[in-house]
Structure 1
Amino acid sequence: MRVALAQVITGRDLAANLALLEEYARQAKDGGAELVVFPEATMRAFGNPLRDIAEPLDGPWATRVRETAASLGIVIVAGMFTPGTSVDGETAKVRNTLLATGPGVDASYDKIHLFDAFGFLESDTVDPGTGPVTFEAGGLTFGLATCYDIRFPALFTANASRGAVANIVCASWGSGPGKVDQWQLLARARAVDTTSYVLACGQGDPASQGVEPKGAAPTGVGHSAVVSPLGEVLETLDGAPGLLFADLNPAVVEDARLKLPVLANRRDL
């Protein structure tokens, strides 16, 4: 199965971000991909208000993404924000949601592990999700994870236990000393932990376009990658926006799990 990772840099404007999604989804389809992954916060970049744009999964933004996926005949995974806690009928917090939609696919995942680290408090504005989510496309099972989730191996193991041969990680990774190295290390580690492919798609680095980050909001460092079930980086990008392609083969996962049966050998502690 051919997949694509769309390393984009989104901003405040929802319509502009949708246009970017449609452009890259079309390029992915033209390149032969059956599934294209977009980053966390595709709907609106962090560092901007979120409560005013949060909408349900049948709202106008998600509906437009569904229409794009249906018209192109491709599965799209993209980060959006849905309503969370309400106080007196007003949205007080949102959920950091991944929408997966396309032929035969209609799934969503709410980020479980909130980024309360490196001077940023995601939990101030976001409610956590409650459990793992997988979906099937192209005869393969995919698990979903978002950004900070990549630091928590148990979610990836749970997805693999549900049959996932690939884990999708959509991110808007925070910049800083050593952060790119950590992102790359964690993507490879989660692949080896579960002998599964990892599709790690992040927001591009605004600095690559001459825009320096302001404040603590995580706005992306790029370096999206596809990692093999034994931790080999198959395809990667640098910090700039771009589109990469990779071919996933379930036989590679089966072979890795025969050679390194960590899922079969693990014990509950």
Structure 2
Amino acid sequence: MRVALSQITSAPSPSANLELVAAQVKTAAADGASVVLFPEATMACFGTSLGPIAEPLDGPWASAVRDIASEHDVLVVAGMFTPSPDGRVFNTLLATSRAHHVGYDKIHLYDAFGFQESRTVAPGDDLVVLGDIGLATCYDVRFPGVFTGLADEGTSVVLLGASWGAGPGKREQWELLVRARALDSTCWVVACGQADPGVPSKAPTGIGHSLVAAPDGSVFASAGADPELLVVDLDLDRVARVRENIPVLANRRL
């Protein structure tokens, strides 16, 4: 499976970000990628008022992303915001292609480090799996049960979109957590974050350092802090080999 991680810096404008998605998917598809992963908040960066821009999955933004994915015959996974019945929004990871058009609503909300995502964002309830692929978003990486749960549903690859908050030790935590979740679940964890925008922000606008962790927790590929398109080839058979040697899923008792 050839996967492209599109480490971008989102703007406040959904239309501007849609142009960026189109350009990045075109480049990734030309390099043979079958999956293109964008960060959390691709639709609009955090620090933007989310309610006015939120749209359903059949709205114009997600539909345009689907058209882009279909044109290039790839699966595109990108963070957006959809309306919640309680007046907040869902932090949704859109997964769209010719065959799929679904959203994963982020289960664990970032009420940490002085930020309160739950003030404007409602939590989701359900895991989402597309064959070998499972979906997760940012703060979910701190909760091992999401990743072992996805593995239990048949996942070999977890696509994680993030907009990781900056701060002391945060890069080290990010890298440690992505690797640990790969080892917990014995899955490939493909973690694509927002690039570092280069200006301080109270909102989690990204630090870059997107990362691909192998099923044994080792670092397979990584990016720097700046915008980057990272293309990797994942050996899905490696999952079975690691699970034979490290059968943590089979050995669980709790």
Structure-2-length-normalised TM-score: 0.98
Give me the identity figure in percent. 52
In structure 2, the residue matched to 1:113 is: 108
> Matched residues in 1 for 2:24 and 2:130: separation?
22
Equivalent AA in structure 2 for residue 266 of structure 1? R
Cα shift at 1:107: 2.1
1:43 aligns with 2:34: no
Q: Which residue of 2 aligns with 1:247?
A: 233
Give 1:105 deviation, angstroms: 2.2
Q: Which residue of 2 aligns with 1:178?
A: 169
Could you tell me which of 215, 223, 236 is aligned with 2:222?
236
Pairs aligned (count): 254
Q: Which stretches in structure 1 are left out of the alignment for 5+ residues?
A: 87-91
In structure 1, the residue matched to 2:200 is 213
Q: Does 1:194 align with 2:167?
A: no
1:147 aligns with 2:134: no
Taking structure 1 as the reference length, what is the TM-score of the superposition?
0.93
Q: Gaps (5+ residues) in structure 2?
A: none
In the TM superposition, residue 232 of structure 1 has moved relative to its aligned partner by 1.3
What residue in structure 1 maps to residue 117 of structure 2? 122
2-side partners of 1:35 and 1:167: how far apart? 12
Please give the alpha-carbon distance, in whole angstroms, between the structure 1 residues aligned to 2:41 and 2:14. Answer: 11
Counterpart-to-counterpart distance in 2, 1:119 and 1:244: 31
In the TM superposition, what whole-angstrom CA distance separates every residue of 1:200-240 from its partner, at most 9, and x where no partner exists?
Answer: 00000011xxxx123x2100000001111001111110100
Q: Is the 8 A contact 2:211 2:223 kept in 1?
A: yes
**TM-superposed deviation, 1:170:** 0.3
Over the residues paired in the alignment, what is the CA RMSD in angstroms?
0.8
Question: 1:131 deviation in Å?
Answer: 1.4
Confirm or deny: 8 A CA contact 2:57 2:102 kept in the other structure: no
Tell me the residue number matched to 1:53: 53
The corresponding residue for 1:89 is none
List structure 1 runs of 4+ shifted beyond 4 angstroms. Answer: none
Deviation at 1:248, TM superposition (A): 1.3
Secondary structure in 2 aligned to 1:143? strand
| Distance (whole Å) between structure 1 residues aligned to residue 35 and residue 156 of structure 2 | 14
Bigger mean CA offset, 169-178 vs 247-256:
247-256
Q: What residue identity is the alignment partner of 2:141?
A: I
CA distance in 2, matches of 1:186, 1:224: 12
